[in-house]
Amino acid sequence: MRVAVYYTPRSCPPLMKAASQWLGTSGLKVAGISAVEMESLLQAPNHYGFHATIKPPFRLKTGHTLNDVEKELAAFAKELLPFFLPPLEIARIDNFFCLRPVSDSEAVHNLAAEVVQRFDHFRRPAEDKELAHRRTAGLTKRQDHLLLTWGYPYVLDEFRFHLTLTGKIDNDRYVEPLIQELSARFDPVLQEPVSFDGVSLFVQHGTSSFSEHKRFNFGR
C-alpha cells in the first residue's frame, strides 16, 4: 500500500465537473487525436486522480498504520484556515499539460513544505529501484539530494503546485489540438475562485489506481 497527501478543489464544483468529464470519460476523442491515443495520454492522470501533490506517494514505515496518518492529518488540518489560490491557467510544464496558478503562492509553498517534513516520519525510505527510476529523469544535484532526503525530487524549493491534466506528450501533433480542447473545457470554469480549504489522504493498494480515502477540511 502507498499513501499520499493531495489537494483536490472540492469547493469548486464547476472545476471538479470539468476535470471529471476530461479524465473520467472513456473513449474521449479530440480533433486529430484518436480515442486510443487519448487513453494513453490520460493514463497517468487517471491512475493518480485529479489532484495537486502535497506529500508525494510513499509506503508506510514498519510500526505505523493508515490510522496513524489519519489522526495526525486530522489534527494538522484543524490548525489551518482556508485561503484562495491565485487564478489558475492551462500550462505545459515538463512536457505535460496541467492547471497551475498564474503567480506563486507563498501560502501553498509553505503548506506543502510543512506537510512534506511533518509527515516524513511515516515514510519508509525509498528502495534502490525507486531511486534509480527517479534518476532516469536527469535530476539536478539539488533534486537528487531532495530525493535521498525526502523520497521525491520535486519538494521544498523544487515544488511546483499544479493539477495534472495529461501524461507526457511525445508527439508534437498533439499539442495544438490539446490546447484548443483544454481551453474550451476549462477556460469557462477557471473564472471561478478556487479555495484551498482542505487536504485529502489518497491510498493505492497494490498496483491499483489511487483513490481518495478521506478528506480533512481546514479548521475542523
> 2-105+160-215 has which CATH code?
3.90.1140
Buried b (16+ CB within 10 A) or exposed e, 64-85: eeeeebeeebeebbeebeeeeb
The total of other beta-carbon atoms located within 10 Å of residue 101's CB is 18
List, for residues 107-120, the tens digit of each pLDDT value: 999 999 999 999 99
Q: What are phi and psi of 101, to 5 degrees?
A: -65, 145
Ordered mean pLDDT values, 10 residues apiece, the chain (220 residues):
96 95 85 92 94 97 97 97 97 95 96 98 94 92 97 97 96 95 96 95 94 94
Compute the radius of gyration of the chain from its Cα atoms.
17
Q: What is the pTM of this model?
A: 0.94
The answer to whether the CB of 21 falls within 8 A of the CB of 171 is: no
Q: What is the 3-state secondary structure (H, E, C) of the chain?
A: CEEEEEECCCCCHHHHHHHHHHHCCCCCCECCECHHHHHHHCHHHHHHCCCEEEEEEEEECCCCCHHHHHHHHHHHHHCCCCEECCCEEEEEECCEEEEEECCCCHHHHHHHHHHHHHCHHHECCCCHHHHHHHHCCCCCHHHHHHHHHHCCCCCHHHCCCCEECCCCCCCHHHHHHHHHHHHHHHCCHHHCCCEECEEEEEEECCCCCCEEEEEEECCC
The answer to whether the CB of 220 falls within 8 A of the CB of 75 is: no
CA separation (Å) from 35 to 30, 43, 79, 122, 158?
Answer: 8, 12, 45, 40, 34
Domain positions in the chain: 2-105+160-215
pLDDT of residue 115: 98
Between β-strands 2-7 and 163-164, what pairing exists: parallel, antiparallel or unpaired?
unpaired
The answer to whether the CB of 124 falls within 8 A of the CB of 60 is: yes
Q: In angstroms, rounded to a whole number, what is the distance separating the alpha carbons of residues 113 and 101? A: 17
pLDDT of residue 54: 98
Q: What are 91's three cell numbers?
A: 500550462
State whether the Cα torsion 180-186-191-196 is positive or negative: negative
